[in-house]
Structure 1
C-alpha cells in the first residue's frame, strides 16, 4: 500500500511542472522538465488563451522560455503544436464562429422541399420566399444581457490583472460549469448578466485581488447551444434545430412561412403549453416593427392557425393583392395595407363584390364610409380609374401665337381665350373662326365666329365659351395652293421644287445646282393649258416653249417667268460621250487597255493597234470575254422558262442566279484565220466597252477532264482521234457518258459528239483544246409496286385483245 501511495505521489509531482506551465507559461520559473508530447489539446488551448490575453505571440516568448530552462527542441515542438491547433481552429471559425471566442455548432436539418403552388398575390407570402432575407442571428453582436443559459452553452471566463485565469467552460447537462480550484457553479436558467455576477463572487474566494479591484473578471458567451423548435401550419411543418439566439421570424423562414391557408396575423408562440405571444407579420411588412420577432427557447412551438378573413383588392392601388383582415379593422386599414390609391384611382367610391350565403351581391362604398366600413371575408374590391375627361379644359388651335390647352372658367369669352394665346398671328384669317362644341348628349356642333367683330367689342360675335370647346383660327396660307415646278434632264439636281411668285428660269436652274457638263443650249418648257371652256378642235395637252441658253453661265433669255406646274427639260448635247476602252491580253506585242476610237471598232483594229499576234500566239485561240449586261439579265427575268415550279423555284430564277453569281461573262469565239482573209467578214465582230480580247499561247497538249480515270494533259498528235486521248487518260470511268463528250477549243468554241443510227461522230481534236466527259444522268429504277402495276396493265391489254379476237372469228 505504501508503494502505491509513493508511485502516485511521484506521478503527481512529475505532472506539476506541466500543469504549472499550462496555467502560466509567462510566470513559471523552471520549464526544464516540460515535455510537449505529454500536453493535450486543452493545455495548448490554455496557452493560446494566455498569450492572447497578454497580447503576445509564441515567437515573442521564445527567449524567455529558453531562459527558464525549456530546451529549444521542446519549444519548437510547442510552437508546431500551437500552429497546428490554430489552423484547425481557424478552419472551424470559417463556418461556425461569428467572432473570436464565440462559436456555434453546425446546425443540420433534414432537407425539405417547400410546398409550392401557393398564391403569390397573398400579401406577405414573398417575405419567406426571398433567399436574401432569412433572419439568421448575427453571432458578431454582443451577448444579449437577457440571454438565458442552458446545457450546451460555453462560457469564456477570464481573470486579468494581478492574478490571471482563462478558461472556456461548457455548461453541463445539469446546468453547471466547472471552474478549476473553485468547483461547480450552477448557471442553468440564469441570464448572462446574473451568471457573470455569480461567477465573479465564486472566483473572489480563490483570487483575492478581485474584491480589491486589482483583478477583474470577464464572462462572455463562447459557444452557443442548439435548441429544438416545432412549427405547425407552415408550408413545411416539423421540428427544426436552430441557434439559441434565433427568433420567431428565423424559424418561420426555415418552415417556408404560413401555408396556403395559414394566417399571417395571428401566429402563436407557445411555451410550456401557454401562448406567450401573438405574432402579426404585417407589423414588420408595413412598419418595419420587429417587436414580435422575439427570441426562441428550447421546445418552443410556433403554431400558424388558418386565416379568419381574407379580401382581394384589384385595380388602381399601389399594391393590389390578397390581404388578411383582423376583427374590427376597416376599409381604411385595408387601404393602408395596399399603400393607398395610385394616381389614376377614382377616390369617390369603391365597388365591392360580396358573397352571401347563396349568391353574390355588389355594393358601393362612399369615401365618407371608408373609416367605418368593415370588410367581410371573400370581399373583392375594384378600384376604377378616373374618367378620361377634363372638368375645365378649353383649347385653341391655328393662327395664334400660343396654340395650346387652357383652363376654362365660367363667363369666359372667345376674346379672353385669344388674349391668353397672346393674340392673332399676322397670317390669321380673322373674318371667320370655328368652335367645335360638345353638346350635353355628347354630340358635337360647330359655331362660327367673326373674330374681327368679336375683338372689336361686338358681344354678339364675342360668344361665351363652354368647357371642352376647341377654337380654330384659320390662316390665309391654308387657302393658298402649294405649287410646284419640275426640272429634268442635264441638271445636277433634277426634281420638283416649290413655286414662288416671280420665279424665273434662271432662279430654278441655280436652285437645282446648275447645268451639267453634257447640257446643250436647248431648253424646253412645257406649261399646262388652262381654259374655262373645252375646245375640241385643239388637241394640244401642253404649251411648249423652246429657248436657248448659255450653258457656261446658266443664263438664258432674260426674265422668262415660270408658272405653276411648269416642266423644264434641259436637253443633252448631240455628241457627248466619254471615251470607252477595252482590254487585250495574252500573246500580243503590246497588251493593255485601248480606247475605242470609233463606234464600230472591230477586233482586227484593236489587235492591229496592239502590234498583232506574237510568234507564240495560237491563231485559233482568240476570244472575247464580254461582261453580262444588266439589260440582258432583265430580259431573262421577263421570260418564264419553267412549265411547273419545283422546290419553290423556277428555271429562269436559276438561270439568272447562275449568270449573276457564277458566269458573269459571255465568251465570244473569234475565227482569226477568216478575219485575216477578209476584214469585212462577220467573224470580225464589233467591240463594246468592257470587252477583254484574249489571245492564247500556242499549247501542244490536249487536256482531258471529267469522268475519266486520270485527269491529265496529253501531248497533241496530229490525226489522232478523241478515242486516242481518252485511252491515254486511262479511259472513261463507270459514270462517264462518252456519247455526250464535247471539246472546248482554245478560242472558246465548243463542239459535241453527234449520232446517226448506230454511228457516232466525234469532233476533231486540235492543239490546246480540252476534252470533257460528262457524267451519266442517274436513271430512277422502277420499284416492285411499279413493275407489278405495269405488268397488270399489259395483262389487261392482252385480255382485251384476246376477247376482241374471239368475238370477231
Structure 2
C-alpha cells in the first residue's frame, strides 16, 4: 500500500514539474529537465507575465536560462512559442481573461403593448432598449449570495501563486486543489472569501503571514428561476442571479391589463418580502425598490384599486393609478404639472355615482384636499384667448404696440407710454375703437392737441381693449409717380418730387444711351373742373430738344406729376450684324452685313469663293428659328383643341429639337445670274455652309444595313436601296425620300401604275421611313360587321317584296 501511494505522488510531481519550471523560469536554479512541448498555453501566458513584470525580454533571459542547464534547442522552442503567440500583452491577456464574467444566454420573448399605451408607466416596459439587464462587467456585489452553478475565480499571488476557476457544485461546495472541499452556498462573496482564506492558509503558509494575497471574484454567474404572476406575459422566467425586480417585470411585459403599478409584491419563502411602487421610479427616479432577485422568488402583480383619467392641458395626459390618501396635487405631479396654456384656477371632474354621472368643479384652493376617486375623468381646460388689462395704440407714434391698462388711464397717458407723437402725426383728430357692453363697436373721436394740453373733455378715459389710432399726414397725400421710357439706361416709373426736372429724371434713370436722339416728347395730363367738349385732347404734349451727348441740358424742363417722358432713338443707329460662312471656302468665319440687302454670292466672294473640293450641289443656308416664329405658331388656332397633341408636338419640336431652318441654294444658277431668286438676301445670324464634295450616297432608316454606297453615275434610286439589302419588315419603301447635299428633299412619285423615283446625286442621303402601325380588325369586330351587313341585306329584301 505504501508503494502505491509513493508511485502516485511521484506521478503527480512529474505532471506538475513542467508547470513549476515554467512559473519559476527566473528563480529556478536547474532548468535541465524542462520540456517546452509539455507546456500549456496558460503556462506560456504566465511565463510572458513573469518576463513582463521583471521588465526583461525573452532574448535577455536566454543567457540566464542556458546557465541554469536549459538546452539551446529547448530555449529556441520556448522563444518561438512566446513570439508566435498573441501579440497582446500577457498582462492584459490574463487580466482580461480573469475579469470577463460569463453568463449563460437568457432568451425571453417580449410582446409590445399597444392596448394600454395610455396607462402611465406602460412605456417603461414597451421600450426594448430599456430592459434593466445587470451589467456583468461591474464589480462583484459584496452581498451577492452564492449558490450552485456559480463559478469562483480564486487567485493567490505574492510569494506563492495559485490560480483556478472553481464551480460551486450542486451540494454548494467548491473543491480547491490541496485544500479540499469548502461549503460556500448561501454565503455572500465577502463571507465566502474569509472562509476560503482560512482554509487555504492551512496549506499556503505565506497567506497567513501576509506574504501572499488572496482574491476571490465571481467568474460565471448562475441562472435562477423566478415566477411572475399578473403580468402581460405571466409565467416562469430564467434570469441572471444578478437580475432585479424591474428586470423581471420588463421581461414579463409589465403589469397586465388590470395590473397595479403601485402595489407589486415580491414574495420570498412564501412571505411578502417587499412592495414595489413603480411611480417612485417614474416620477423621482427612486430605485430603492429595485431589489435583487433570488432563486424561486415570486413577483405578484395584483389588480389595481383606483385609476383616474387626466385630459387636456397637462404635460403628460393619460391614465394614472392612485393610492388611498393621495390628493389632486399628487396626481398633478404624475402628469408633470400644467402646461403653458392651462387654465389653473379650477379643473372639471366627471364622476360616477351608483346610477349616473355627475360633474364637479375643483378650485385651486381644493387641489391639496380633493382625493380623486376611481373612474374620475379630470379635464384641464385651456386658458381664454383674451386679456384682462390690455389697450393698443397704433399709427403715427414712436412705439405703436399693446400696453397694460389701469383704471383711470387717459389717452394722453397711452401716447406718453408710446414715446409721443411722430413728426408726421395729424394732431387735429384721433380715434378710439371701443367694444360696447352689447358687444358692438363704436368710434370715439378726440382732438389730440387738446388732449395732450390737458383738456378734460378731449383727454378721454380709456377702457380695457380700446384701440387708439393716430393718423399720419402722409396718409392724406396722393403718391405721385412719373414715367420715363425710350433711350435711357433704366427706363421705368419713378417717384415724383416737387421741383423735379428733366435733368434730374435722366440722371435717376442712369443717363442717356448712345442711340438717344435730340427729340424728347413729354405727355402731361389735363386737369380741369369743367368738361371742354371742344377740346378732344386727352393729354398735353410738349416737344423738347436735348443734347444727346450731355445728361445736363442747358434748358432744363420742370416736370409735373404723372408726366410721361419719351426719349426717341436716332433715325439711323444700327450696330453691324454678322453672318457665318463655313465649310469649303477659302476664308471661313464671321462677316458683317455691310448692306441692308447683302446676298449669298457677295458674302461668299468676300470669303474667297469656293475651294477646289467644294460641292457646288451642297451650298445651303442654316437660319436660326426665331422666338417670334414659335409665338406665331402658338397663336395660330388650327381648331385641334386646346391641348391637341399635333399642336403641342409642333411647338415642342420648334422649341427643343429644331434649332434652325435649312434654305437650299442652287449655286450654279447664282453664279450664272446674281439676280436669280436663289441668291437670297441674308439675315443676321445666318450661316452659309458649303459642303466638301463626297462621292458616297448614305442609306439610312428602316433598311437591313445602314451604309454609305459609292456613287455611280446613272444608277437609279432602287439600286442604292438594293445595295444595302433592301428595306426591313417595318420599312415603307413607297415613302422613301432623298435629301440632297444642299438640304433640298425629293420623294418617290406615283401615278396610276407608274412610279418615278428621284434622281440620286453624290453626297445625297436616302431615308426609308417606318410604316405606320395599323391595328388589325379583331374576330369580334368582323362578327359585328357581318351582323350589320346581314341586317342591311334583310332590310333591303323586305323593302322590295
Give the TM-score, by structure 2 length.
Answer: 0.88
Match of 1:252 among 249, 253, 263: 249
Three-state SS of the structure 1 residue aligned to 2:494 is strand
Distance 1:194 1:607, change over 3 A: closer
Per-residue deviation at 1:505? 1.0
Per-residue deviation at 1:212? 6.2
Q: Is the Cα–Cα contact under 8 Å of residues 113 and 253 in structure 2 kept in the other structure?
A: no
Whether 1:136 and 2:99 are equivalent positions in the alignment is: no
Three-state SS of the structure 2 residue aligned to 1:474 is strand
Q: Is the Cα–Cα contact under 8 Å of residues 393 and 401 in structure 2 kept in the other structure?
A: yes
Alpha-carbon separation, structure 2, partners of 1:629 and 1:15: 109
Match of 2:797 among 796, 799, 802: 802
Match of 1:419 among 416, 419, 441: 416
Distance 1:44 1:303, change over 3 A: farther
Per-residue deviation at 1:379? 2.0
Three-state SS of the structure 2 residue aligned to 1:631 is helix
Partner deviation per Cα, 1:404-434 (whole Å, 9 max, x = no partner): 2222222211111122222211111111111
Three-state SS of the structure 2 residue aligned to 1:417 is helix
Three-state SS of the structure 1 residue aligned to 2:505 is helix
* Higher mean C-alpha deviation, range 245-254 or range 708-717: 708-717
Match of 1:751 among 724, 746, 749: 746
Per-residue deviation at 1:257? 2.2
Match of 2:106 among 104, 109, 117: 109
Q: Where in structure 2 are the equivalents of 1:322-337 lying within 5 Å?
A: 322-337=319-334
Distance 1:410 1:31, change over 3 A: same
Partner deviation per Cα, 1:563-582 (whole Å, 9 max, x = no partner): 11111111111111111122
Three-state SS of the structure 2 residue aligned to 1:416 is helix
Q: Is the Cα–Cα contact under 8 Å of residues 310 and 378 in structure 1 kept in the other structure?
A: yes
Distance 1:574 1:297, change over 3 A: same
Q: Is the Cα–Cα contact under 8 Å of residues 50 and 166 in structure 1 kept in the other structure?
A: no
Match of 2:628 among 618, 622, 631: 631
What root-mean-square deviation, in Å, do the aligned CA atoms of Structure 1 and Structure 2 show? 3.9
* 2:564 alignment partner in structure 1: 567
Q: Where in structure 2 are the equivalents of 1:77-116 lying within 5 Å?
A: 101=98, 104-114=101-111, 116=113
Alpha-carbon separation, structure 1, partners of 2:188 and 2:524: 111
* 1:486 alignment partner in structure 2: 483
Q: Is the Cα–Cα contact under 8 Å of residues 150 and 187 in structure 1 kept in the other structure?
A: yes
Whether 1:597 and 2:599 are equivalent positions in the alignment is: no
Q: Where in structure 2 are the equivalents of 1:356-371 lying within 5 Å?
A: 356-371=353-368
Alpha-carbon separation, structure 1, partners of 2:769 and 2:448: 91
Partner deviation per Cα, 1:99-129 (whole Å, 9 max, x = no partner): 7646654323344232542322322222233
Distance 1:517 1:231, change over 3 A: same
Q: Is the Cα–Cα contact under 8 Å of residues 229 and 241 in structure 1 kept in the other structure?
A: yes
Match of 1:783 among 752, 773, 778: 778
Match of 1:717 among 713, 733, 741: 713
* Higher mean C-alpha deviation, range 295-304 or range 598-607: 598-607
Whether 1:692 and 2:687 are equivalent positions in the alignment is: yes
Distance 1:606 1:209, change over 3 A: closer
* 1:527 alignment partner in structure 2: 524
Partner deviation per Cα, 1:111-164 (whole Å, 9 max, x = no partner): 423254232232222223334433233344444333333333344556666776
Per-residue deviation at 1:527? 1.0
Whether 1:670 and 2:665 are equivalent positions in the alignment is: yes
Partner deviation per Cα, 1:606-658 (whole Å, 9 max, x = no partner): 3444444455555444332221221111111112346368xx64212211222
Per-residue deviation at 1:289? 1.4
Alpha-carbon separation, structure 1, partners of 2:259 and 2:140: 34
Whether 1:463 and 2:460 are equivalent positions in the alignment is: yes
Three-state SS of the structure 2 residue aligned to 1:246 is coil
* Higher mean C-alpha deviation, range 421-430 or range 215-224: 215-224
Distance 1:594 1:74, change over 3 A: closer
Per-residue deviation at 1:509? 0.8
Per-residue deviation at 1:765? 4.2
Partner deviation per Cα, 1:706-736 (whole Å, 9 max, x = no partner): 4455543343425x55445555555555544
Alpha-carbon separation, structure 1, partners of 2:86 and 2:551: 100
Alpha-carbon separation, structure 2, partners of 1:87 and 1:770: 77
* 2:310 alignment partner in structure 1: 313
* Higher mean C-alpha deviation, range 128-137 or range 204-213: 204-213
Alpha-carbon separation, structure 1, partners of 2:12 and 2:269: 49
Q: Is the Cα–Cα contact under 8 Å of residues 102 and 221 in structure 1 kept in the other structure?
A: no
Match of 2:544 among 528, 547, 550: 547
Per-residue deviation at 1:274? 0.7
* 1:232 alignment partner in structure 2: 229
Match of 2:654 among 653, 656, 659: 659
* 1:444 alignment partner in structure 2: 441
Alpha-carbon separation, structure 1, partners of 2:210 and 2:271: 45
Distance 1:107 1:241, change over 3 A: farther
Give the TM-score, by structure 1 length.
Answer: 0.87
Whether 1:287 and 2:284 are equivalent positions in the alignment is: yes
Whether 1:386 and 2:383 are equivalent positions in the alignment is: yes
Three-state SS of the structure 2 residue aligned to 1:230 is strand
Q: Is the Cα–Cα contact under 8 Å of residues 107 and 242 in structure 1 kept in the other structure?
A: no
Three-state SS of the structure 1 residue aligned to 2:103 is coil
* 2:117 alignment partner in structure 1: 120
Distance 1:82 1:130, change over 3 A: farther
Alpha-carbon separation, structure 2, partners of 1:702 and 1:64: 98
Per-residue deviation at 1:742? 3.5
Q: Where in structure 2 are the equivalents of 1:736-747 lying within 5 Å?
A: 736-747=731-742
Distance 1:152 1:495, change over 3 A: same
Whether 1:372 and 2:372 are equivalent positions in the alignment is: no
* 2:576 alignment partner in structure 1: 579
Alpha-carbon separation, structure 2, partners of 1:419 and 1:559: 48
Three-state SS of the structure 2 residue aligned to 1:531 is coil
Alpha-carbon separation, structure 2, partners of 1:351 and 1:5: 96
Distance 1:757 1:345, change over 3 A: same
Per-residue deviation at 1:336? 1.0
How many residues are paired up?
A: 796
* Higher mean C-alpha deviation, range 696-705 or range 306-315: 696-705
Whether 1:146 and 2:143 are equivalent positions in the alignment is: yes
Distance 1:386 1:619, change over 3 A: same
Alpha-carbon separation, structure 1, partners of 2:182 and 2:719: 121
Three-state SS of the structure 2 residue aligned to 1:660 is helix
Partner deviation per Cα, 1:246-301 (whole Å, 9 max, x = no partner): 22122222323223332211111011111110011111121121111112111111
Three-state SS of the structure 2 residue aligned to 1:12 is helix
* 2:513 alignment partner in structure 1: 516
Alpha-carbon separation, structure 2, partners of 1:85 and 1:745: 85
Q: Is the Cα–Cα contact under 8 Å of residues 98 and 139 in structure 1 kept in the other structure?
A: no
Alpha-carbon separation, structure 2, partners of 1:631 and 1:130: 68
Distance 1:559 1:703, change over 3 A: closer
Three-state SS of the structure 1 residue aligned to 2:793 is helix
Alpha-carbon separation, structure 1, partners of 2:217 and 2:570: 109
* Higher mean C-alpha deviation, range 501-510 or range 356-365: 356-365
Three-state SS of the structure 2 residue aligned to 1:798 is helix
Q: Is the Cα–Cα contact under 8 Å of residues 17 and 31 in structure 1 kept in the other structure?
A: no
Per-residue deviation at 1:799? 2.9
Distance 1:246 1:69, change over 3 A: farther
Q: Is the Cα–Cα contact under 8 Å of residues 704 and 714 in structure 1 kept in the other structure?
A: no
Alpha-carbon separation, structure 2, partners of 1:197 and 1:459: 98
Alpha-carbon separation, structure 2, partners of 1:670 and 1:747: 6
* 2:788 alignment partner in structure 1: 793
Alpha-carbon separation, structure 1, partners of 2:738 and 2:244: 97
* Higher mean C-alpha deviation, range 299-308 or range 515-524: 299-308
Alpha-carbon separation, structure 1, partners of 2:233 and 2:259: 12
